[in-house]
Amino acid sequence: MAVSTVFTISPAAANYRGFHVNDWELCIGCSTCQKVCDNAAISMVKIPGLPEDPVKGILNERPAIDYGRCCWCGLCVDICPTSSLSLTTEYVHTCHEDKLDSYFILPDPKGIHDKHVAVITSLGVKIQYNTRIGQDISIAELERDYDAVVVAIGLQKGRSTRIPGSDHKQVKKAVNPLRKTTEGKTFNIPHSAVVIGGGNVAMDIARSLARLQKEQYGDIRMTVTALEDFEHFLADAEEIKEAREEGIEILDSRGPKQCVIDDNGRLTGLVTLRVVSIFDEDGRFAPRYDDSDEQTHGADMVIEAIGQMADISPFGDELIERLEWNRGHLKVDQDGRSSEPWLCRPVTWYPGPTWFTRWLTDTA
- The residues binding ligand SF4 (CB under 6 A) are 22, 27-33, 36-37, 39, 41-42, 63, 65, 70-76, 80-82, 84-85
Name the residue nearer to ligand SF4 (CB basis): 80 or 222. Answer: 80
In whole angstroms, the minimum distance from the beta carbon of 206 to ligand SF4 comes to 27
Which residue number, 75 or 123, has a Cβ lying nearer to ligand SF4? 75
* Least Cβ distance, residue 358 to ligand SF4 (angstroms): 17
Beta-carbon neighbour count of residue 362 at 10 Å? Answer: 10
- Partnered with residue 111 across adjacent β-strands are none
What sign does the CA torsion over 205, 207, 209, 212 have?
Answer: negative
How many CB atoms are located within 10 Å of the residue 234 CB?
15
Q: How far is the CB of 238 from ligand SF4 (least distance, A)?
A: 16
Nearer Cβ to ligand SF4, position 82 or 182?
Answer: 82
Closest-CA residue to 151 (of 364, 359, 361, 362): 359
Cβ(246)–Cβ(212) below 8 Å: no
Q: Which residue lies nearer to ligand SF4 by CB, 87 or 95?
A: 87
Which amino acid does the sequence have at 238? E
Distance, in Å, from the CA atom of 77 to the CA atom of 184, rounded to the nearest integer, reads: 34
Name the 3-class secondary structure at 301. Answer: strand
Residue 89 or 295 having the CB closest to ligand SF4: 89
Report yes or no: 227 and 163 within 8 Å, Cβ to Cβ. Answer: no
**Residue 29 CB: number of other CB atoms within 10 A?**
24
CB of 182 to ligand SF4, least distance (A): 24
Q: How far is the CB of 42 from ligand SF4 (least distance, A)?
A: 5
Q: Which is nearer to ligand SF4, 37 or 306 (CB)?
A: 37
Residue 190 to residues 21, 69, 109, 209, 250, Cα–Cα distance (Å): 40, 33, 37, 8, 18
What is the nearest approach in angstroms of ligand SF4 to the Cβ of residue 104?
Answer: 15
